[in-house]
Amino acid sequence: MGQLGDLDLLHAATVAGRPVRSPASARSRPHASRLLRGPAPARRFGVAVRIVPSVLPVDFAHLGEAVARLDAAGADRLQWDAMDGQFVPNLTFGPDVIAAARPHAGCGFEAHLMCERPEELFERYVDAGCELIIVHPESLRQPHAALRQIRELGAGAGLALSPGTPVAFAEPVLDLLDLVLVMTVNPGFGGQPYLVSMEAKVARTRELIDGSGREIALEVDGGIGPDTIAGAAAAGADVFVAGTSLWRAASLAEGIEDLRARAEAARTAR
């Protein structure tokens, strides 16, 4: 991708009507749970459809430009996969990288922490500009305390369920969650094929959320594209993390809108 100058980046981040923001922490903003929802059309279940591009497949040499382009294309927020090389075998974004990218986008940021001892990093990722922090239960020594810590920092709290993690792990902490993420690939690397078998898990998670009486977003991540998003949406997902597939579309804006339309159609038909 070509490199943009400062004025081009400013235009790109405002073309969707969202001004460039300074990298102020989520603690200076309204509680992040509000940012997960926003105005929503009539719907059968859950929150409105949200398309969340992953930053993982972008050209890291032009990170600011890529973030601005995704924001301008209509991303509802961006996902940063934070991997430490221990909890999963890959190594990716630290909080300083996210803080450097924060001024280039007006949409929200979520951090998916795939790391050991994530409690030690919550404050740094919130201060870097992430309004939503998603963690894996296997990495938490005290899940209730960890999720409370995230919320006390002013961020939304999410729990990620890997393919081998039972849905039951979310039940004891539902009252502390703004989002449940069902992984539709094994975490660690982008570009993996979608696991169709996880749609049954999405459906079980939807039943758990609906039974709680709380408005908790249900996100899916892994292999989401034009051929797979309808199945995840029909199973009950609200929020869809898309990576590689978006960069294969004719344009980022068309890719995002195509995914949104497919998800909304599948939910209506459910």
Per-residue pLDDT of the chain (270 residues; tens, 9 = 90+): 343 333 333 333 333 333 444 445 555 554 455 455 443 332 334 468 999 999 999 999 999 999 999 999 999 999 999 998 889 888 899 999 999 999 999 999 999 999 999 999 999 999 999 999 999 999 999 999 999 999 999 999 999 999 999 999 999 999 999 999 999 998 866 667 999 999 999 999 999 999 999 999 999 999 999 999 999 999 999 999 999 999 999 999 999 999 999 999 999 887
Residue 231 lies in a domain: yes
The pLDDT value given to residue 26: 56
Overall domain count for the chain: 1
From 71, 76, 81, 84, the catalytic residue? 81
Question: What CATH code is carried by the domain that includes residue 179?
Answer: 3.20.20.70
pTM, whole model, 2 decimals?
Answer: 0.84
Residue 156 lies in a domain: yes
Identify which of 213, 212, 206, 196 has the alpha carbon closest to the alpha carbon of residue 267.
206
Helix, strand, coil abundance in the chain, percent, nearest 5: 45, 15, 40
Radius of gyration of the chain (CA): 17
SS3 217: strand
What domain range is 191 assigned to? Answer: 6-269
Cβ contact 95:123 at 8 Å = no
Residue 138 lies in a domain: yes
The pLDDT value given to residue 2: 41
Q: 155: Cβ–Cβ under 8 A, 6 or more apart, which residues?
A: 26, 32, 122, 126, 130, 131, 132, 133
Residue 224 tokens read as 């989401």
Distance CA 246, CA 258 (A): 10
Residue 1 lies in a domain: no
Residue 181 lies in a domain: yes
Which position has the token pair 């898990």? 201
Q: 108: Cβ–Cβ under 8 A, 6 or more apart, which residues?
A: 32, 35, 76, 77, 78, 131, 132
From 76, 84, 178, 221, the catalytic residue? 221
Residue 218 lies in a domain: yes
Residue positions forming the annotated binding site: 54, 81, 112, 188-191, 221, 223, 243-244
Q: Distance from first CA to last CA of the chain, Å, rounded? A: 39
Residue type, 224: I
- Give Cα separations from 13 to 71, 74, 96 (angstroms): 6, 10, 20
Catalytic status, residue 81:
yes
